Amino acid sequence: MSAKIGVIGGGSWGSALCILLANKGYKVDFWIRNEEQVNEINRTRINTKYLPEVKIPETVQISNDLELVIRDKDVLVLAVPTHAVRETVKKIKDKIKDGQIIVNVAKGIENDTLMRISQIVREEAPNSKYAILSGPSHAEEVAKKMPTTVVVASEDKEVTKYIQEIFITPSFRVYAGSDVIGVELGGAVKNVVALGAGISDGLGYGDNTKAALMNRGIAEITRLGVKMGANRHTFTGLSGIGDLIVTCTSMHSRNRRCGIKIGEGMSLDEAIQSIGMVVEGVKTAKSVHYLSEEYDVELPISNAIYEVLYEGKNVKQAVDELMLRDKKNELEDVEW
């Protein structure tokens, strides 16, 4: 299969996907906003700030000229943070060809509109086709060819098959899906739960606590997802439980690391600054809080994290309140 691909966004995930695709033989152009970063990577072939241990192949053309990177491409990979998606798509929408495929790999929900990324892309570039690539996939491990599995979902079956074929490699297995809502929500909301898992670690709590957070966290994600039109079975898959496990347990996870700092007593701003990169779950926590109100869905863990981050609630008080909530039946919200 021959395809020309533009990767937009100079972080760790964009870099890892450039490496994966170039190693498979595709013509890849890579857009990075910062000119100094572009010059450094062109000189060293290493993205020192975001992916310092793996070289980007010489065949990848790196530029801060966005129009050059998207020109004549079959596929555009959108690898910018969620808060930058709308601005980025607005910049390129007049250059997008009818039917051009946009593959999103960011995981979040826009704060102001509470839109998922597919909705943003549909609003700003309605002539494009959309797919979401998500799952338990740390960029650091993908770039080193460690076995990884993800899912690609699109409302267009042919787009799903096409993107599956482009990205699949012996070390990067891609499953096909169609539940765009579920895959997007699973990837976004698990970051909020991972902040909670990190806070738990920072407080010195153990495996029991983390297991409880993860288990009840996936229950919350499913509850919200079903209310928003997703298939509940999606959340038992790679973009649900799979992504939740890796993000809550790995030190590669910015969300978990940020949560640890908060649990240890840092302020939110101090914790974010110490990570030095975008922590998607921080902004997503605000979106999820408002979605819980809009859809009238009970999300006690997510809302407790929101209160810790944005209302100054003491973390130990938040844990106590979660533990002392009214008694529940574990499966009371399951529809048989």
Q: What is the set of active-site residues? A: 190
Q: Is the distance from CB of 176 to CB of 155 less than 8 angstroms? A: no
Q: Which helix (H) or strand (E) holds 174?
A: strand 172-177
Tell me the C-alpha distance between 72 and 70, whole Å.
6
Using CA atoms, how far residue 122 sits from 93, 153, 179, 246, in Å, is: 11, 15, 16, 30
CA 53 to chain CA centroid, Å, is 22
What phi and psi values does residue 314 have, to the nearest 5 degrees? Answer: -65, 135
265: left (phi over 0), alpha (psi -120 to 50) or beta: left
- Of all residues in the chain, what percent are helix, strand and coil, respectively (each to 5)? 55, 15, 30
Rounded to 10 degrees, the C-alpha dihedral 12/18/19/20 comes to: 110
What phi and psi values does residue 48 have, to the nearest 5 degrees? Answer: -55, -40
Of 94, 96, 38, 89, the C-alpha closest to 70 is: 96
For 133, the 3-state DSSP assignment is: strand
Nearest 5°: the CA angle 119, 34, 136 is 50
Tell me the C-alpha distance between 75 and 237, whole Å.
26
Q: Is the distance from CB of 179 to CB of 152 less than 8 angstroms? A: no
Q: Which helix (H) or strand (E) holds 101?
A: strand 101-104
